[in-house]
A and B are shown apart, each in its own frame.
Chain A
């Protein structure tokens, strides 16, 4: 993935305004690096962070939205970055705004804790035996899911892994034909949500016992999130699901892509959910129930 298009979401979400073809095309497009896959994206108040392979690029939002050949403002390199074959991809990035720490789940089986201000790696969390798919951080707790099928739970005040679960070992959850990998993990104070090769499942956070196995038709989960009293999930499936904790499906949103790799949402200033994946199209929902608009990069 090389292109980097931006859309003006407000114009699309405001039903009063007449939508023109112009509004469906990117406001700006720039190239991060030729012939490379962009593995993760994260936005902070002023910066856009792009995780590619072996490096995290930081862009200024003001530059990115207007400039055709936007320059990187800063860059974080992962260790072991010399050899092209050893370069690890940055699969997932989350930020703790309070402590200004960036957690990056990477292809070299590690989760790196990076200080945004200094752009230095302050800590390396190693515990996975295969690459890390997903990380999620709440307060001092951090959960990471990897290709090795393990969900590691870290207390950031401790050095080592605090807890871990291995959903693929649960016969009800495991799907051997899809593999043991955990594509997405999400935690809050009470619950842990994870899925991937194994089915999407909700675990009780304290006891780490499975509580709900979601009955959805998918070939692998890549997106899972607990949102208030709802669960959003997507992956290689025909729909993007919104469910309650007991497993009842609230809504199924048909997706344009074969596999959903990311879904972002916001409540303010207006409610919006954007779903993207292996397709040049981005689906946009205003109420999390049905598809409103489709943006296309073609």
Chain B
């Protein structure tokens, strides 16, 4: 083996030499070297596989050669040495080839390594580049995000809708978007649209702001003008006053009530709402019907102005705890020594009472006159806290009425009482009043009537106050206007009928029955009126003859009651109790009779008297026109009936003066209490 290695190395050097040689020979060793290298490189490009195969073949051939050598050596043929020599030569050449192969392999591995390094470098640089790019990308992403998060100022601006923009903006601005649909636009178009809209908005706003400015200017101008005019007008008032003042003598001379009306109207505007309604409606009524009605506003104007300025809070009743008061009262009872507290309590109570019952400073006085009759003055006041109208009346008697009974009829409370059925005015029509009154220890409105006046329902209605439970107590214009006319008519009618009644009573007091010429009356009665006086309700009820009337509530305490005595010589008297209803003559006066002849007879124990009562009480439906004669006619009839009664009951004592055919007829032995105007008048049963 050593030989082999030696031979190998020797061969190598020879190759080296051979290789070195050209360079040295060509004056440049490097060239040779380079040539070698390039050659080797060239060689190395051969396929490694074939080299590997070659290598295996070489190794095999070496082994074979060595084996043959060994054989030769062992066998020692004759030509052994030559053959060995040949064989070793062969082997040595193979080893050279091996060496060559080895070298090639080395070259190859170096070149491969180099190539690997090169590739590695490439990979590294690519990697680097990649990382750079990644970083850059991330940066860009974050930039994107930032961009996206960016808020533009225009987003806060409210823009007109796209449709509006397209229809209103000028052509050149909208043209690019005319034919596009919003869904089909790309972002740029959208953006452009937005820009266009913004631009449009800007121009619009500029325009509007300009407009605004001009208006502001105008406003300022107008304000200035107003101030100027005001000043002028302010200056006008005193001048007008002067003119008005100077016309006064002329007005007085011409007898024009302009000034008065003006003052009155001015005062009227200060009236509380309910009274104003009444005033306005009554005034209108008066003008339309031209009747003798006088409206007047009483009260102090300054006070009223002050009242108005105090405003809408006078209704503030002292709402201090009633419980507190209660306690106080109890304390007071316990400790009577603390007089001053009690006194202060009373003071407060008085104060509250005063405030609750307070009336508006202005009130209306209506004066109604009847020809030859009394003058009725009615004063309407508004109780602001109680929210009711109270009425005080006063009557100026005409000179021709002097009798007490007659005066009573037109004077007393009955004049206005029950103007409408059941309306006596002694209960408050406002359902909340009883509670208010209870607070100040007043049990009913009735006890306040003398102080405050009557709270008639019609008075509330003419002033537009309606107290039906459901309805609010707000003054209603319609309510008032419909009622003023009715009430005024009823009022006048009442006044007239009362005057007529008074005139009759005036004569009756002197025991004269006024002649009633309007109806057929029996004349020439023997019985005559001897006494006429007024009595009380209690007196009326005491009589045995009135039991049924009272029981059946045909009369009420508010009616007027009289007692009349009719006498027929020589022994018979008829005591008559008369109840005149408030709405005389719509309801005829009711007569209740007691005959005093051979005992006492009345409707409760004698049918004849009952028939007589019927005859005198029933069948007087002559309406309002009968006011002037109804009572007299009834009395006149009664005298005749009494004659008939006596003449039929005791013909022997009372000679027949009246004309009748049958004194008695039918099973009930009926008396002829029916007057027929035949000749001088006859009486029949049927």
B607 close to A259 (CB less than 8 A): yes
Given A87-B686, A278-B607, also A261-B667 (CB < 8 A)? yes
Instruction: Please indicate the chain B residues that have their CB under 8 angstroms from the CB of A84 in the complex.
Output: 684
From B605, B665, B669, A258 is in contact (CB under 8 Å) with: B605
B666 close to A258 (CB less than 8 A): no
Instruction: Please indicate the chain A residues that have their CB under 8 angstroms from the CB of B606 in the complex.
Output: 258
Instruction: Please indicate the chain B residues that have their CB under 8 angstroms from the CB of A87 in the complex.
Output: 686
B607 close to A258 (CB less than 8 A): yes
> For residues 511 through 533 of chain B, which have their beta carbon under 8 Å from a beta carbon of chain A?
none
- Docked complex Cα distance between A258 and B667 (Å): 14
Q: Does B422 contact A (CB under 8 A)?
A: no
A37 close to B686 (CB less than 8 A): yes
Q: Does A103 contact B (CB under 8 A)?
A: no
Instruction: Please indicate the chain A residues that have their CB under 8 angstroms from the CB of B669 in the complex.
Output: 147, 181, 220
B607 close to A53 (CB less than 8 A): no
Instruction: Please indicate the chain A residues that have their CB under 8 angstroms from the CB of B664 in the complex.
Output: 147
Given A36-B686, A85-B661, A298-B552, also A236-B607 (CB < 8 A)? yes
B670 close to A37 (CB less than 8 A): yes
From A36, A107, A183, A220, B665 is in contact (CB under 8 Å) with: A107
In angstroms, how far is the closest chain A Cβ from the Cβ of B654? 16
In angstroms, how far is the closest chain B Cβ from the Cβ of A107? 6
Among A36, A89, A261, the most chain B Cβ lie within 10 Å of the Cβ of A89
B686 close to A258 (CB less than 8 A): no
From B604, B667, B684, B686, A222 is in contact (CB under 8 Å) with: B667
Q: Does B610 contact A (CB under 8 A)?
A: yes
Instruction: Please indicate the chain A residues that have their CB under 8 angstroms from the CB of B667 in the complex.
Output: 39-40, 91-92, 133-134, 183, 222, 261
Q: Does A131 contact B (CB under 8 A)?
A: yes
A85 close to B605 (CB less than 8 A): no
A85 close to B607 (CB less than 8 A): no
Nearest CB in chain B to that of A87: its residue: B686
In angstroms, how far is the closest chain B Cβ from the Cβ of A233? 15
A89 close to B686 (CB less than 8 A): yes
Instruction: Please indicate the chain B residues that have their CB under 8 angstroms from the CB of A37 in the complex.
Output: 666, 668, 670, 685-686
Instruction: Please indicate the chain B residues that have their CB under 8 angstroms from the CB of A147 in the complex.
Output: 664, 669
- Docked complex Cα distance between A92 and B668 (Å): 12
- Docked complex Cα distance between A39 and B665 (Å): 10
A53 close to B686 (CB less than 8 A): yes
Instruction: Please indicate the chain A residues that have their CB under 8 angstroms from the CB of B684 in the complex.
Output: 84-85
A258 close to B604 (CB less than 8 A): yes
In angstroms, how far is the closest chain A Cβ from the Cβ of B385? 44
From B552, B610, B665, A278 is in contact (CB under 8 Å) with: B610
Chain B 649-686 per-residue mask, 1 if CB under 8 angstroms from chain A, else 0: 00000000000010011111110000000000000111
Nearest CB in chain A to that of B686: its residue: A53
Instruction: Please indicate the chain A residues that have their CB under 8 angstroms from the CB of B552 in the complex.
Output: 298
B605 close to A261 (CB less than 8 A): no
Chain A 83-125 per-residue mask, 1 if CB under 8 angstroms from chain B, else 0: 0110101011000000000000001000000000000000000
B666 close to A91 (CB less than 8 A): yes
- Docked complex Cα distance between A236 and B684 (Å): 23
Instruction: Please indicate the chain B residues that have their CB under 8 angstroms from the CB of A258 in the complex.
Output: 603-607, 610
> For residues 50 through 67 of chain B, which have their beta carbon under 8 Å from a beta carbon of chain A?
none
Nearest CB in chain A to that of B664: its residue: A147
Instruction: Please indicate the chain A residues that have their CB under 8 angstroms from the CB of B665 in the complex.
Output: 89, 107, 131
Nearest CB in chain B to that of A40: its residue: B667
A89 close to B604 (CB less than 8 A): no
In angstroms, how far is the closest chain B Cβ from the Cβ of A187? 18
Instruction: Please indicate the chain A residues that have their CB under 8 angstroms from the CB of B666 in the complex.
Output: 37, 39, 89, 91, 107, 131
Instruction: Please indicate the chain B residues that have their CB under 8 angstroms from the CB of A107 in the complex.
Output: 665-666
In angstroms, how far is the closest chain B Cβ from the Cβ of A85? 6
Instruction: Please indicate the chain A residues that have their CB under 8 angstroms from the CB of B605 in the complex.
Output: 258
Compute the total of residue contacts between A and B using a CB distance below 8 Å: 49
Instruction: Please indicate the chain B residues that have their CB under 8 angstroms from the CB of A181 in the complex.
Output: 669
Chain A 39-53 per-residue mask, 1 if CB under 8 angstroms from chain B, else 0: 110000000000001
Instruction: Please indicate the chain B residues that have their CB under 8 angstroms from the CB of A222 in the complex.
Output: 667-668
- Docked complex Cα distance between A258 and B684 (Å): 23
In angstroms, how far is the closest chain B Cβ from the Cβ of A111? 14
- Docked complex Cα distance between A220 and B607 (Å): 12
- Docked complex Cα distance between A261 and B666 (Å): 11
Among B603, B607, B610, B684, the most chain A Cβ lie within 10 Å of the Cβ of B607
In angstroms, how far is the closest chain B Cβ from the Cβ of A160? 25
Chain B 602-634 per-residue mask, 1 if CB under 8 angstroms from chain A, else 0: 011111001000000000000000000000000
- Docked complex Cα distance between A276 and B661 (Å): 29
- Docked complex Cα distance between A262 and B437 (Å): 58
Instruction: Please indicate the chain B residues that have their CB under 8 angstroms from the CB of A131 in the complex.
Output: 665-666
Nearest CB in chain A to that of B618: its residue: A35
- Docked complex Cα distance between A259 and B664 (Å): 16
Nearest CB in chain A to that of B602: its residue: A258
Instruction: Please indicate the chain B residues that have their CB under 8 angstroms from the CB of A261 in the complex.
Output: 667-668
- Docked complex Cα distance between A236 and B604 (Å): 11
In angstroms, how far is the closest chain A Cβ from the Cβ of B492? 34
Instruction: Please indicate the chain A residues that have their CB under 8 angstroms from the CB of B668 in the complex.
Output: 37, 222, 259, 261, 278
In angstroms, how far is the closest chain A Cβ from the Cβ of B681? 14
- Docked complex Cα distance between A236 and B606 (Å): 8
In angstroms, how far is the closest chain B Cβ from the Cβ of A239? 14
> For residues 574 through 627 of chain B, which have their beta carbon under 8 Å from a beta carbon of chain A?
603-607, 610
Nearest CB in chain B to that of A258: its residue: B607
- Docked complex Cα distance between A133 and B665 (Å): 9
- Docked complex Cα distance between A222 and B605 (Å): 15
- Docked complex Cα distance between A92 and B669 (Å): 13
> For residues 388 through 424 of chain B, which have their beta carbon under 8 Å from a beta carbon of chain A?
none
Instruction: Please indicate the chain B residues that have their CB under 8 angstroms from the CB of A133 in the complex.
Output: 667
- Docked complex Cα distance between A220 and B608 (Å): 13
- Docked complex Cα distance between A222 and B670 (Å): 13
- Docked complex Cα distance between A196 and B684 (Å): 23
Nearest CB in chain A to that of B598: its residue: A177
In angstroms, how far is the closest chain B Cβ from the Cβ of A250? 25
Instruction: Please indicate the chain B residues that have their CB under 8 angstroms from the CB of A236 in the complex.
Output: 607
Nearest CB in chain B to that of A91: its residue: B667
Instruction: Please indicate the chain A residues that have their CB under 8 angstroms from the CB of B686 in the complex.
Output: 36-37, 53, 87, 89
Instruction: Please indicate the chain B residues that have their CB under 8 angstroms from the CB of A259 in the complex.
Output: 607, 668
Chain A 55-96 per-residue mask, 1 if CB under 8 angstroms from chain B, else 0: 000000000000000000000000000001101010110000
> For residues 257 through 286 of chain A, which have their beta carbon under 8 Å from a beta carbon of chain B?
258-259, 261, 278
In angstroms, how far is the closest chain A Cβ from the Cβ of B661? 6
Among A91, A258, A298, the most chain B Cβ lie within 10 Å of the Cβ of A258
Nearest CB in chain B to that of A147: its residue: B664
In angstroms, how far is the closest chain B Cβ from the Cβ of A218? 12
Instruction: Please indicate the chain B residues that have their CB under 8 angstroms from the CB of A92 in the complex.
Output: 667
Nearest CB in chain A to that of B669: its residue: A181
- Docked complex Cα distance between A87 and B684 (Å): 11
- Docked complex Cα distance between A43 and B669 (Å): 24
In angstroms, how far is the closest chain B Cβ from the Cβ of A286? 26
- Docked complex Cα distance between A37 and B685 (Å): 9
In angstroms, how far is the closest chain B Cβ from the Cβ of A22? 20
In angstroms, how far is the closest chain B Cβ from the Cβ of A217? 13
Instruction: Please indicate the chain A residues that have their CB under 8 angstroms from the CB of B603 in the complex.
Output: 258
- Docked complex Cα distance between A40 and B667 (Å): 9
- Docked complex Cα distance between A37 and B667 (Å): 11
- Docked complex Cα distance between A104 and B162 (Å): 111
Nearest CB in chain B to that of A177: its residue: B598
- Docked complex Cα distance between A184 and B667 (Å): 9
Which positions in B face A, CB cutoff 8 Å? 552, 603-607, 610, 661, 664-670, 684-686
Provide 8 A-B residue pairs closer than 8 Å at the C-beta atoms, listed in order of the A residue.
A37-B685, A53-B686, A84-B684, A89-B666, A183-B667, A258-B604, A259-B668, A278-B607
Closest 9 CB pairs of A and B: A278-B607, A89-B666, A91-B667, A53-B686, A259-B607, A39-B666, A258-B607, A133-B667, A107-B665
Which positions in A face B, CB cutoff 8 Å? 36-37, 39-40, 53, 84-85, 87, 89, 91-92, 107, 131, 133-134, 147, 181, 183, 220, 222, 236, 258-259, 261, 278, 298
Known: A37-B670, A37-B686. 7 other contacts (CB 8 A): A37-B685, A131-B666, A147-B664, A222-B667, A258-B606, A278-B607, A278-B668
